[in-house]
Structure 1
């Protein structure tokens, strides 16, 4: 007969197994309960480094109580009773059998410093994972009134955690992060597409603004067509070609931006009409790019911390690489938010004249120049 599960029967398989660090914490606490004087050798961790409330309460209690005399401690359990009574104030589930089990599972008390180092490493992983999660949450929280400023604050907090891990675990020769972090596609929100279209139309109507926005790149756009049209505008401006909807349409055709069967009138309509200043819409576009880069950085760091095979060194290297991409966009956004005075705009005619004045190399001369005859 098939076995019918009892509703009151304990499903042990449903209980998540503790992580390896849980057993490391048990070994460390057992070593300190067995030989309390080993606490002098345990540095770099605090009660917050432990993964459970019971372990945090035990370690805090061991640190707060004076170590007993080793000889007396070997004869009786008086100090252990004091530890249990004190720790129960923070973790009422603690019991005397659990303290004795901690002592029994500790392989060697003299390895306490090594156990502490492992606990410290896992705590750094959890801290970094939490900071990365806050960064991603803030970057995607559309209800936040100051989302960009708050996101950059969280990015600085992540960088602080990374620097602290690097200080605790100095760099050493080792492999780079092996976790593959696929770059997610940029979200194509309708609001973002509208702002990009307004930027393209305003810039087409005011071509001189192209030189005022060197901080804007095609990668800041969420839609490939809009990114391509921005490249058309910058290319026309660089060559000194007049800019209007028709010239941009012609450039777009040569860059392969017009899909087969596309209606050119739609593109002309997109580039016609101007509402607001190009710099305003450009700042909005790069601001959205900052949030996207922060979201990508947070997810990448989260992937590194989720990989339990990553060492602290690999976490530092991978996180700094992820934050470097955000730093580039952040710098451009700062230039957009506080633009510096720009030189006077050169008209296309002036730039074309200047370009024409530059001497060009002619074809190679294969015959000797004829001698000039002297007058008779």
Structure 2
């Protein structure tokens, strides 16, 4: 037995038994049903309600016309729906009064499907952008997914906020155009090692994590450390910094590898190569976020509220690299939005009263006898009273 299919049948059966249950399902939309025949029937039932079907005014036995008219209306938009199936739906409903609970089950399934669908679109857009050397489609579908998550949170009745999921094994890195990306990274590192002032062009928006090759990211970290300390940058100082960080001892880098990178290129534009590396980081991060969100959505045991908040958290790395991409391209970073006040916060009047009670009252210093010193304890502000 498929629980989601049973829930869809039960909620439709409840409305066929008691048309008044539609009033408790305003938040449920036809698109939330997985089967097309169920979507068509729920749409038809809502249309009959909007047209003031006579069955809505009957308080006792619901007339058969409510069922037959719903089947006829839905049959105009979908094939395969019969009156016999409508009666099967009625028999599938344990209790008509539980329609809102069945509807929540349907909505829960729709949330998982919707997030999965949009995560797949984001991954496809990231892959296409990576192959074309673009980022616009990936960022667009990331915004679409974020908007979908906010809308689903509103429908589910929860506050959308990023929450980290339980610790899981790190996913395998996503690699697009690996050879070209690695070459761009090597060229950038060669330019940064050969041109003393080249780090100034990229240091504000390029991070070690933007490099697909971890060894390249560590080498960029070494360059950044030398630049931060104001020390000269050349092949020898870079090798020394790598040794101090243990990169040679743990085989993250080798002297021959570093020499090959430093000798790999002459003059070049550090900003241009840096943008190539960052562009690849945007699409790679978008694909990784999409894969993480899809894995969350395919976990049927994950409650919708937690799924939405975990998915928002998975989009966080993409938001961070997007801001740096905008900085690299001369676009101002979006201002941080002020957090919305929590609905659980105490009323302002109560807060004001609490602050008032916490403020020490001003008091005159105690009089001292001539020639005597003030007691330090007596000179302190009086403690709060409870009178």
Fold similarity call, TM over 0.5: yes
> Residue 111 of structure 1: CA displacement?
1.5
Q: Matches of residues 266-285 of structure 1 in structure 2 within 5 Å?
A: 266-272=257-263, 273-285=265-277
Q: For the structure 1 residues 109 and 240, does the alpha-carbon distance in structure 2 shift closer, same or farther, using more than 3 Å as the test?
A: same
Q: Paired residue for 1:133? A: 120
2:290 matches 1:314: no
Q: Paired residue for 1:249? A: 239
- What do the CA deviations read for 1:200-252 (whole angstroms, capped 9, x no partner)? 11112222121332211111111122112212211222222222223223333
Q: Matches of residues 127-206 of structure 1 in structure 2 within 5 Å?
A: 127-141=114-128, 145=132, 147-171=134-158, 177-178=165-166, 180=168, 182-185=170-173, 187=175, 189-206=178-195
Q: Paired residue for 1:351? A: none
Find the aligned partners of 2:184 and 2:173 in 1 and give their Cα distance: 19
Q: For the structure 1 residues 311 and 279, does the alpha-carbon distance in structure 2 shift closer, same or farther, using more than 3 Å as the test?
A: same
Q: Paired residue for 1:51? A: 34
- What do the CA deviations read for 1:310-346 (whole angstroms, capped 9, x no partner)? 1111012201211112111111111112178xxxxxx
TM-score (ref. length: structure 1): 0.78
Q: Which runs of 5+ in 2 are unaligned?
A: 333-387
Q: Matches of residues 16-95 of structure 1 in structure 2 within 5 Å?
A: 19-65=2-48, 66-69=52-55, 71=58, 74=61, 76-95=63-82
Q: Which runs of 5+ in 1 are unaligned?
A: 1-16, 341-376
Q: Paired residue for 1:207? A: 196
> Residue 187 of structure 1: CA displacement?
2.9
Find the aligned partners of 1:230 and 1:274 in 2 and give their Cα distance: 18
Q: For the structure 1 residues 20 and 147, does the alpha-carbon distance in structure 2 shift closer, same or farther, using more than 3 Å as the test?
A: farther
Equivalent residue for 2:217, pick from 216, 222, 227:
227
> Residue 51 of structure 1: CA displacement?
0.6
Contact 1:181 1:300 in 2 (8 A): no
Find the aligned partners of 2:78 and 2:139 in 1 and give their Cα distance: 37
> Residue 264 of structure 1: CA displacement?
3.9
> Residue 276 of structure 1: CA displacement?
2.8
Contact 1:47 1:59 in 2 (8 A): yes
- What do the CA deviations read for 1:21-60 (whole angstroms, capped 9, x no partner)? 2111101111111112221221112211111111011111
Give the stretch that moved more between structures: 235-244 or 310-319.
235-244
**Number of residue equivalences:** 320
Find the aligned partners of 1:215 and 1:293 in 2 and give their Cα distance: 15
> Residue 67 of structure 1: CA displacement?
3.0
Contact 1:293 1:326 in 2 (8 A): yes
TM-score (ref. length: structure 2): 0.76
Q: Paired residue for 2:363? A: none
Q: For the structure 1 residues 77 and 315, does the alpha-carbon distance in structure 2 shift closer, same or farther, using more than 3 Å as the test?
A: same
Q: For the structure 1 residues 181 and 163, does the alpha-carbon distance in structure 2 shift closer, same or farther, using more than 3 Å as the test?
A: farther
Find the aligned partners of 2:226 and 2:27 in 1 and give their Cα distance: 59
Find the aligned partners of 1:167 and 1:250 in 2 and give their Cα distance: 55
Q: For the structure 1 residues 53 and 328, does the alpha-carbon distance in structure 2 shift closer, same or farther, using more than 3 Å as the test?
A: same
Q: For the structure 1 residues 332 and 206, does the alpha-carbon distance in structure 2 shift closer, same or farther, using more than 3 Å as the test?
A: same
Contact 1:43 1:116 in 2 (8 A): no
- Aligned residue for 1:100, secondary structure, equals helix
Q: Paired residue for 1:364? A: none
Q: Matches of residues 261-340 of structure 1 in structure 2 within 5 Å?
A: 264=255, 266-272=257-263, 273-338=265-330
Aligned-residue Cα RMSD (Å) equals 2.6
